[in-house]
Amino acid sequence: MLQYEWHVKYEKSFQALSGAAARICLLSPTVSSPSTPASHPAAAANAAAAAANAAAAANAAAAPPAAAAAAASSSPVCDTPCLETEWSGSKVQQQQQKQQQQQQQQQLQQQLLKLHKQQQQQQQQQQQQEPVSPLKAAIKQFIPYELSVSILLLLLLLQLLLLLLLLLLLLLLRLLLSLQHPAAASAAAAARICI
């Protein structure tokens, strides 16, 4: 509607200016008075220049409204009810999407908080159920789990080696005792024979 009104208004002004230019050309002495044939080209040139000036003035007058109409058409303001409803509908959809995203983020944050609280409660329950000695607590704090397991295995191996050494010592003692008994028996027999 705005474009149509601007077009009608400035078309009328253009027609008025062109009519005035035509009248000026008709009233000029170069055209009305009889003259020599050499004066007709000058009159035609004057008429053409006046018409060109009138057209340029009309274009200059119509240029700012046309720019304003183009800016108005490019602006986000809707000219018809259909465009207004579409624009408002897209705005409502964007707002709904933003609200859904915010709700999802809030739900995720709540779930993470619940999991964190559950982990803390489980840790507290374990600490209450299993009383830990200060030595074990220090070991757990300064020694990692894998290293502590390897140390325990080494201790078990050392204990097994000590047991094997004790068994070997016992076997050696038995051998020594068994070797001493036959020597004592032979010495007693030799003493009896001498008597």
Mean pLDDT (whole number) for 161-174: 93
> Measured in whole angstroms, how far is the alpha carbon of residue 40 from the centre of its chain?
78
pLDDT of residue 40: 52
Q: What is the pLDDT of residue 133?
A: 66
CA separation (Å) from 167 to 68, 71, 150, 154, 180? 111, 107, 26, 20, 20
Please tell me the pTM assigned to this model. 0.24
Query: How many angstroms separate the CA atoms of 66 and 7, rounded?
Result: 8
3-state helix, strand, coil in the chain (%, to 5): 90, 0, 10
Range with the lowest mean pLDDT among 86-90, 128-132, 149-153? 128-132
Please, are residues 18 and 58 in contact by the beta-carbon 8 Å criterion? yes
* Structure token digits, residue 47: 């008429």
43 CB contacts (<8 Å, ≥6 apart)? Answer: 25, 28, 30, 31
Share of the chain above pLDDT 90, in %: 13
pLDDT class of 170 with cuts at 50, 70, 90: very high
Is residue 57 within 8 A of residue 17, CB to CB? The reply is yes
CA distances from 61 to 47, 51, 58, 64 (A): 21, 15, 5, 7
Tokens 């299993």 locate to 130
Residue 128 has pLDDT above 50, yes or no: yes
Backbone φ, ψ for residue 194 (5° rounding):
-65, -35
Least confident stretch, 34-43, 48-57, 107-116, 186-195: 34-43
Contact 148, 139 (CB under 8 A): yes
The structure tokens listed for 152 are: 């325990």
CA 91 to chain centre: 23
pLDDT-derived band at 38 (thresholds 50, 70, 90) equals: very low
pLDDT digits (tens, 9 = 90+) for 57-100: 666 655 555 555 555 555 444 455 555 666 677 888 888 999 99
- Closest CA relative to residue 46, chosen from 25, 15, 17, 23: 25
